[in-house]
Every structure is written in C-alpha cells, then in structure tokens.
Amino acid sequence: MEPAVVAASFLPVLLLELPDKTFVATLVLATRYRPLTAWVGVGLAFAVQCAIAVVAGGLLARLPDRPVAAVAAALFAVGAITLFRGAARARQAEEEALHEYEEKVRGGRPGLRGVAACFGVVFLAEWGDLSQLFTAGLAARYEDPLSVFAGAWAALLVVSALAAAAGATLMRRLSVATVSRVGGTVCAVLALVTLLEVAGVDLPL
C-alpha cells in the first residue's frame, strides 16, 4: 500500500462528499437510529461500493494507457464541473436532499436490523454516485486498487462519521459552497495532470 496514493485518493473524495447528499443521508439516518448504528451501516455500504469501483477501475487499467488516462481525466473533469455548478445552489440542493431522505427513512430499528436498513438505504441511493465513478477513475490512473480503496473508503467514513456525530451543527456552520469550490479545484487539477500525461508530458506524480 502506497501512502501517497492513499492520500491522493482520500482528499478529493472527502471534498466531493462533504457537500454531497451522502452527508445529508447519514445525518437523517443518525436521527432515526443511533448514530453508531447509522455509521456502521453506511460505512459497510461504502465499503462494498468502493470495492466495486476499484475492481472496475482495475479492469479499465488493463486497456492501453492513453485511453485509460483520457477516461480518468474525463471523470475528474465531470467531478470539477459538478462541484463548481453545485456551489452556486449548494444550500438549496442540501435542503432538497434533506427532504428526500427524510421521506425515504421511516422509524428506526435497533441492532443489526438498523445496520441493515442503513446499509440498504445508502447502497441503493448512492449507487453510481459521482464519488464511485471518481474512485474507479483513481484506481485506473494509479493502478493501485488497494491504496485507492483505503483512501476513498477512509474519506467516506470520515464524512459519514462527521454527519452522524455532529451533522446538524456542521450544516449550520459549514460553508458548503466553499467546500464545493475547493473540491472542484482539486478535481480540475487532477483532470489537468491526467490530460498532460495523455499528451506525453512526464510528471513526477
């Protein structure tokens, strides 16, 4: 496992998901179930999704280098555009996501049934989410699925832990638009670096 790849996977996924509906989903689940129950269920869902993403990225990495890098650059660019566009209406999107998940989650069961319920809600709602596609792109770019998995999953665990423990407070104090812009900048840099690699520019990354 390469620490540099873990860090390079952790930061962009963290910035992608902090202003995303993942945070809101975990917050809502934590109000219906115990915070630890919600966090465990959400974390397990993300583990499976990250595993699927890195497997897909690993298969993609078997293709010729330049097409793979071009696809990865496109995924990073989509992430940048999505975050920059979302920054303008971040609070409105957050409120919409909050209502959406409040309608999906009813009641609250303790123990393993609660964990399973939280797993199911997040796994189904977040399937094909931008962060999953982004993780696949990272796995294809770095050709180190274990490190990418560790970094991406750790980022998702941190986001969901923050939401479960202090989600309501953070929603009031966190500038979602600023986080979106920072995340968009990171994604744009990754897209640019990857495009330079496609063009044959040798970079020490």
Domain-wise residue ranges, the chain: 15-198
% of residues, the chain, pLDDT over 70: 68
- Judge whether residue 148 has pLDDT over 80: yes
- Judge whether residue 48 has pLDDT over 90: yes
Closest of 150, 128, 127 to residue 138, by C-alpha: 150
For 185-195, b where at least 16 C-beta lie within 10 A, e where not — what string?
A: ebbbebbebbb
- pLDDT score for 155: 92
Instruction: Work out the pLDDT band at 8, boundaries 50, 70, 90.
Output: confident
Contact 131, 22 (CB under 8 A): yes
3-state SS track over the chain:
CCHHHHHHHHHHHHHHHCCCHHHHHHHHHHHHCCHHHHHHHHHHHHHHHHHHHHHHHHHHCCCCHHHHHHHHHHHHHHHHHHHHHHHCCHHHHHHHHHHHHHHHCCCCCCHHHHHHHHHHHHHHHCCCCHHHHHHHHHHHHHCCHHHHHHHHHHHHHHHHHHHHHHHHHHHHHCCHHHHHHHHHHHHHHHHHHHHHHHCCCCCCC
- pLDDT score for 156: 92
Q: Does 95 or 85 have the greater pLDDT score? A: 85
* Residue range 8-13: mean pLDDT, rounded: 86
- Judge whether residue 183 has pLDDT over 70: no
Extract the tokens encoding 49.
């999704």
